[in-house]
């Protein structure tokens, strides 16, 4: 991330001609029109007994009816085959819960932030749960991804999830590395991979990089010209688009005549075949709102959190944007983000890259003072942006969203009176893993698989901090959320190695309201390997060889379990891990069906549960 320091030096020659316009700029510019008759821009969820949006409700109920029963059966087959191969017998209730649609668990998968690292580690972990991967299927973990109801991301994992969905759910191998080598397919129809060999901020030599930054600024000019604020998040979203949204290949990377993913909106993904088929877990990404009146007593104190836990977390999904947090309890249609009122509707604001940037842009961490910010890696870009577009009063380090909730929830929503809602990276309140959307009771999620890749310690490994933050937040907002009990001291996480291997939380809760948490973290390298997954969150370049090494190692971490001593005296992966995972996945529904834990599941839960 040294690029923009260099760019600052060149500022004299890098000012944007004010007439510049390009294909991406046109596609990035939101459009105004009269709202369709009957449009309502606010849906109140109700503060305590909350309701889901009708489109989400329909997606989930259709998926549960038409897709999930077969997905759970095929997962059962995978884990059953694995058990047989190990000469183990699954308790009868495991088969019953997985094969009877009325008893199927409601599974959510949450992936933490952590930049390129989290995107890649998250992808490998999902690959380990993906029935399309034969290794995962043979192992008995494959199929859970297909059986999940929800998947949530923030920051780096929002890049992953949005990229995955907009590419119509290719395999993770194809998503990251592309399929360009497959000569039987034409190139236009391929997502060419994440192109991490191009730096997010300085993708070529100095001249190319200067031109590149110019083109990012040009990309956002149309949006500015029609009256919207443009901030670092817009510009950042435009560079993210060149990696995580269709339309950019190594050959056309610097071509300014094409849109580079501009115009691909979150709401438009509803028409993709995979979504029409209800073929993926419902995707949600989150961002933190910065309020004008922060509650400083609610700042999470184990990380450098800058957003209090009591600020609303904003979620973006394909249909709606808003928050179930009781301070706000309201949503607006995602396709009309940016609208001034319910007679004039804006479309084209909800660009995928922009939403990835709003969820995943860590700029405010540099903004401890104007001087520190100016000297930071984004200082140069900020100066250029500020010199190109005159916008007094706009906070340039945050996304600036025309406030859909202006005047709403005056007594509880601190930003009710603000025309612009400011949003920053979803990890900045300390809840680095997006649990919140999965805790919404109306969603009925009873089991959460969390993939935590936050760089909590000096070695950039995870130590459970985001789980502690989430528990703290859920306890502040206990009128609507329940979270399993987890140790609140980092010392306990360390001494009990809770992030160094998978751990289950909430096993002994007797309430179905409290989800069971299956926690898998980037806490240590896998057995016998030299660590490669613990790189910095702020890397801006991530060449395919590095992505490959991390992808492979992450798969091992996600499938290792708690290593065991085998009969030859060697420590090895826990062969029973896939079975133990299944035991945890069914456990809440076992409780509901009145069965007692038994057999292999009793010993698995003894081994993997924290209590």
CB of 340 to ligand NAG, least distance (A): 4
> CA angle 143-149-151, nearest 5°?
90
CB 289 within 8 A of CB 415: yes
Question: CB pairs under 8 A, 24+ apart, for 63-70?
Answer: 63/149, 63/278, 63/282, 64/101, 64/104, 64/149, 66/278, 67/277, 67/278, 67/279, 68/101, 68/104, 68/147, 68/149, 69/101, 69/104
Candidate list 57, 225, 552, 572; residue touching ligand NAG; CB under 6 A: 552
- State which residue, 442 or 609, has the beta carbon closest to ligand NAG: 609
Q: How far apart are CA 375 and CA 383, in angstroms?
A: 11
Candidate list 186, 205, 276, 479; residue touching ligand NAG; CB under 6 A: 205
For residue 40, state whether it binds ligand NAG (rule: CB under 6 A).
no
Q: How far apart are CA 398 and CA 400, in angstroms?
A: 6
Q: How many residues bind ligand NAG (CB under 6 A)?
A: 56
Helix (H/G/I), strand (E/B), else coil: 331? strand
CB of 102 to ligand NAG, least distance (A): 25
Per DSSP, 395 falls in state -
Give 330's strand partners: 44, 323
CB of 602 to ligand NAG, least distance (A): 7
Q: How far apart are CA 190 and CA 174, in angstroms?
A: 9
Q: How far apart are CA 240 and CA 234, in angstroms?
A: 10
Q: How far apart are CA 484 and CA 439, in angstroms?
A: 11
CB of 160 to ligand NAG, least distance (A): 15
For residue 224, state whether it binds ligand NAG (rule: CB under 6 A).
no
Taking the CA atoms of residue 431, residue 432, residue 438 and residue 439 in that order, the dihedral angle to the nearest 10 degrees is -20
Candidate list 73, 127, 137, 454; residue touching ligand NAG; CB under 6 A: 127
Binding range to ligand NAG, per CB under 6 A, among 99-107, 297-305, 402-410, 429-437: 297-305
Residue window 306-335: x/- pattern of binding to ligand NAG, with contact defined by CB under 6 A: ----x-------------------------
For residue 553, state whether it binds ligand NAG (rule: CB under 6 A).
no
For residue 167, state whether it binds ligand NAG (rule: CB under 6 A).
yes
For residue 298, state whether it binds ligand NAG (rule: CB under 6 A).
yes
Binding range to ligand NAG, per CB under 6 A, among 37-45, 185-193, 422-430, 540-548: 185-193
Q: How far apart are CA 434 and CA 313, in angstroms?
A: 10
Binding range to ligand NAG, per CB under 6 A, among 44-52, 129-137, 330-338, 571-579: 129-137
- State which residue, 456 or 460, has the beta carbon closest to ligand NAG: 460
Q: How far apart are CA 437 and CA 481, in angstroms?
A: 10
**What is the distance in angstroms between the CA of the first residue and the CA of the last residue of the chain?**
42
Residues in 236-295 that interact with ligand NAG by CB under 6 A: 246, 255, 257, 264, 272, 295
For residue 358, state whether it binds ligand NAG (rule: CB under 6 A).
no
Q: How far apart are CA 332 and CA 316, in angstroms?
A: 10
- State which residue, 57 or 572, has the beta carbon closest to ligand NAG: 572
CB of 197 to ligand NAG, least distance (A): 18
Binding range to ligand NAG, per CB under 6 A, among 187-195, 423-431, 568-576, 584-592: 187-195
Binding range to ligand NAG, per CB under 6 A, among 92-100, 156-164, 339-347, 580-588: 339-347
For residue 476, state whether it binds ligand NAG (rule: CB under 6 A).
yes
CB of 22 to ligand NAG, least distance (A): 9
| CA 73, 77, 78, 83 torsion-angle sign | positive
CB of 288 to ligand NAG, least distance (A): 14
Taking the CA atoms of residue 518, residue 522, residue 524 and residue 530 in that order, the dihedral angle to the nearest 10 degrees is 140
Per DSSP, 364 falls in state G
Burial of 407 (0-12, 13-18, 19+ CB in 10 A): exposed
For residue 47, state whether it binds ligand NAG (rule: CB under 6 A).
no
470 phi and psi angles, rounded to 5 deg: -65, -40
CB of 317 to ligand NAG, least distance (A): 16
> CA angle 275-558-488, nearest 5°?
100
**Residue 190 CA: distances (Å) to CA of 4, 174, 269:** 31, 9, 17
Strand 399-402 with 447-452, pairing: unpaired
Candidate list 69, 204, 525, 599; residue touching ligand NAG; CB under 6 A: 525
For residue 215, state whether it binds ligand NAG (rule: CB under 6 A).
no
For residue 42, state whether it binds ligand NAG (rule: CB under 6 A).
no
CB of 69 to ligand NAG, least distance (A): 25
For residue 479, state whether it binds ligand NAG (rule: CB under 6 A).
no
Candidate list 19, 49, 207, 292; residue touching ligand NAG; CB under 6 A: 207
Candidate list 45, 133, 376, 553; residue touching ligand NAG; CB under 6 A: 133
CB of 595 to ligand NAG, least distance (A): 13
For residue 489, state whether it binds ligand NAG (rule: CB under 6 A).
no
- State which residue, 45 or 209, has the beta carbon closest to ligand NAG: 209
Helices 156-166 and 115-127: angle between axes, nearest 10 degrees = 50
For residue 531, state whether it binds ligand NAG (rule: CB under 6 A).
yes
CB of 546 to ligand NAG, least distance (A): 12
Q: How many CA atoms lie within 13 A of 373 on its CB side?
A: 16
CB of 545 to ligand NAG, least distance (A): 15
For residue 367, state whether it binds ligand NAG (rule: CB under 6 A).
yes
Instruction: Show Cβ contacts of residue 568 under 8 Å, excluding neighbours closer than 6 positions.
Output: none
Candidate list 75, 121, 150, 191; residue touching ligand NAG; CB under 6 A: 191
DSSP secondary structure letters along 442-504: GG---EEEEEE----STTS---SHHHHHHHHHHHHTTTT---------HHHHHHTTTTTS-EE
Q: How far apart are CA 373 and CA 363, in angstroms?
A: 9
- Residue ranges that bind ligand NAG, judged by CB under 6 A: 127, 133-135, 166-168, 171, 173, 182, 184-185, 189-191, 205, 207, 246, 255, 257, 264, 272, 295, 297-298, 301, 310, 340-341, 343-344, 367, 373, 382-383, 386, 395-397, 459-460, 472, 476, 507-508, 525, 531, 534-536, 552, 555, 605-606, 609, 611
């Amino acid at each position: 991330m040294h690029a923009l320091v260099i760019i600052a030096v060149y500022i004299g020659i890098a000012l944007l001609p004010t007439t510049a316009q390009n294909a991406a700029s046109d596609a990035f510019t939101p459009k105004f029109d009269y709202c369709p008759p009957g449009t309502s821009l606010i849906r109140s969820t109700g503060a305590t007994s909350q309701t889901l949006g009708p489109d989400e409700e329909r997606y989930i109920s259709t998926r549960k009816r038409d897709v999930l029963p077969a997905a759970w059966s095929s997962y059962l087959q995978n884990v059953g085959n694995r058990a047989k191969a190990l000469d183990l017998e699954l308790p009868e209730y495991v088969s019953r819960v997985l094969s009877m649609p009325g008893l199927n668990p409601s599974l959510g998968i949450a992936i933490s932030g952590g930049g390129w690292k989290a995107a890649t580690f998250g992808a490998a972990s999902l690959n380990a749960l993906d029935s399309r991967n034969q290794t995962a299927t043979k192992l008995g973990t494959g199929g859970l991804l297909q059986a999940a109801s929800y998947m949530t991301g923030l920051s780096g994992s929002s890049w992953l999830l949005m990229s995955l969905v907009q590419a119509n759910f290719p395999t993770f191998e194809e998503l990251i590395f592309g399929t360009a080598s497959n000569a039987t397919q034409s190139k236009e129809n391929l997502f060419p991979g994440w192109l991490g060999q191009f730096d997010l901020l300085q993708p070529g030599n100095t001249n190319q990089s200067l031109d590149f930054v110019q083109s990012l600024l040009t990309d956002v000019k149309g949006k500015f010209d029609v009256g919207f604020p443009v901030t670092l998040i817009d510009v950042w979203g435009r560079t993210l688009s060149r990696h995580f949204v269709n339309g950019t290949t190594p050959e056309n990377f610097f071509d300014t005549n094409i849109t580079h993913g501009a115009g691909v909106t979150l709401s438009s993904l509803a028409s993709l075949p995979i979504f029409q088929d209800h073929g993926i877990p419902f995707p949600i990404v989150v961002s933190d709102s910065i309020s004008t009146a922060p509650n400083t007593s609610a700042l999470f104190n184990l990380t450098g959190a800058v957003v209090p836990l009591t600020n609303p977390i904003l979620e973006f999904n394909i249909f709606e944007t808003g928050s179930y947090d009781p301070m706000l309890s309201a949503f607006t249609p995602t396709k009309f983000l940016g609208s001034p009122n319910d007679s004039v509707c804006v479309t084209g604001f909800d660009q995928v890259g922009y939403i990835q940037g709003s969820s995943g842009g860590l700029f405010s961490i540099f903004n401890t003072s104007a001087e520190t910010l100016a000297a930071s890696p984004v200082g140069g870009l900020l100066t250029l942006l500020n010199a190109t577009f005159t916008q007094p009063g706009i906070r340039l380090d945050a996304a600036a969203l025309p406030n859909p909730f202006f005047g709403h929830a005056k007594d509880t929503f601190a930003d009710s009176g603000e025309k612009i809602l400011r949003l920053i990276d979803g990890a900045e309140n300390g809840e680095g893993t997006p649990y919140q959307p999965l805790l919404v009771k109306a969603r009925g999620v009873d089991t959460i698989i969390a993939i935590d890749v936050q760089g909590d310690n000096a070695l950039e490994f995870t130590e459970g901090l985001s789980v502690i933050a989430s528990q703290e937040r859920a306890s502040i907002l206990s009128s609507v959320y329940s979270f399993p009990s987890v140790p609140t001291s980092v010392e306990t996480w360390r001494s009990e190695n809770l992030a160094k291997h998978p751990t289950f939380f909430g096993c002994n809760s007797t309430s179905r309201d409290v989800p069971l948490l299956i926690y898998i973290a980037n806490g240590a390298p896998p057995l016998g390997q030299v660590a490669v997954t613990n790189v910095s969150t702020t890397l801006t370049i991530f060449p395919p060889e590095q992505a490959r090494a991390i992808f492979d190692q992450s798969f091992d971490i996600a499938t290792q379990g708690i290593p065991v001593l085998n009969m030859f005296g060697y420590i090895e992966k826990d062969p029973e891990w896939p079975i133990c995972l299944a035991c945890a996945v069914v456990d809440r529904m076992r409780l509901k069906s009145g069965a007692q834990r038994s057999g292999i599941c009793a010993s698995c839960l003894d081994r993997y549960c924290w209590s």
